[in-house]
Amino acid sequence: MGLLGILSGTIPLDDLQKIFSLREETISLPSGEIVFFSSSDFIFIPRHGRDRQSSFSPPHLIPHLDHFRLLAARGVEEVIGVYSAGSLHERLTPGMLMVPDDFICLYPTPSSVVDAPYHITPTLGEEAREHLLAIAEKLGFAVEKGGIYWQTSGPRLETKAEIKMISRAADIVGMTMASEAVLAQELNMNFAALCSIDNYAHGIGKTPLTNDAIYRQARKNTRVTEQIICRYIEDFQLRKRQADKV
């Protein structure tokens, strides 16, 4: 059985490094340096870079393809992405969590097979989704068990008119999940997403939308998100040990 990959950004997951005694590693690529953290069972990549002060990559400049080539080279077969998202409906309040079951992205996403006559039918990994939902339930956390994620290109937020349009077809909006989901599937990795709903999208809520408000809510959700991801890692380690014995 291969390794597990974890990717996160606005939700920092800093405690993973302490809890699992991860090794910090750096590789230099044409796109720049990638800092990641590894153990014998999993690899954690902070998708925006190690910190917001010195190495931050905004959503439209994240080297998604390099990240997934690194994961593939290390033998990753299962990936959990953690995302900050905006709510497109009043019933989905900031502070909630969602495990989407589909996504929309109407502009090109990165591809691992750009030069090949190859097409995938995009889906999210049902097995990884089921593990993620089961773990959240065991921990007693309420999680939306499905929903549609709409990916915009960023780095700007969306206009009220854009939100009004996309809310007719989707539940939450963000800037990164579809890119990672497509690459994972192209590389035969079982992929699922855990989304932290950190704000109402522009025009949905009754208060002005600001970056500070988004980051404050994301930090509030970090504790719960980390607990789910840590338990997922432990569950994966158990499954890996069992599979490797066979």
What pLDDT sits at residue 217? 85
Residue 115 — pLDDT band, cuts 50, 70, 90? low
| Angular region, 171: left φ>0, alpha ψ -120 to 50, beta rest | alpha
Q: What pLDDT is attached to residue 197?
A: 96
Residue 48 near residue 82, CB atoms below 8 Å: no
Residue 15: per-residue pLDDT: 81
Return the percentage of the chain with pLDDT > 70, whole number.
96
pLDDT number for residue 29: 80
Query: Which pair of structure tokens corresponds to residue 141?
Result: 């956390």
pLDDT of amino acid 205: 85
User: pLDDT band at 135, cuts 50/70/90?
Assistant: very high
* CA proximity to 174, closest of 104, 89, 79: 104
Work out the angle at residue 180's Cα, subtended by the Cα atoms of residues 179 and 182, and round it to the nearest 5 degrees.
Answer: 70
Q: What is the CA radius of gyration of the chain?
A: 17
Domains and CATH numbers, the chain: 3-245 (3.40.50.1580)
> Which of 18 and 50 is assigned the larger pLDDT?
18
Q: Is 108 exposed, middle or buried (0-12, 13-18, 19+ CB in 10 A)?
A: exposed
- The count of other CB atoms within 10 Å of the CB of residue 169 is 10
Mean pLDDT, rounded, for 186-197: 96
At residue 210, the pLDDT reads: 84
- pLDDT category at 55 given cuts 50, 70, 90 is low
71 and 25 in contact (C-beta within 8 Å)?
Answer: no
Q: What is the pTM (predicted TM-score) of this model? A: 0.93
Decide if 47 contacts 177 (C-beta within 8 A): no
| Location of structure tokens 């750096």 | 26
pLDDT, tens only, 163-178: 999 999 999 999 999 9
pLDDT tens digits for 80-91? 999 999 999 999
Q: What is the dihedral of CA 132, 100, 52, 28, to 10 degrees?
A: 80
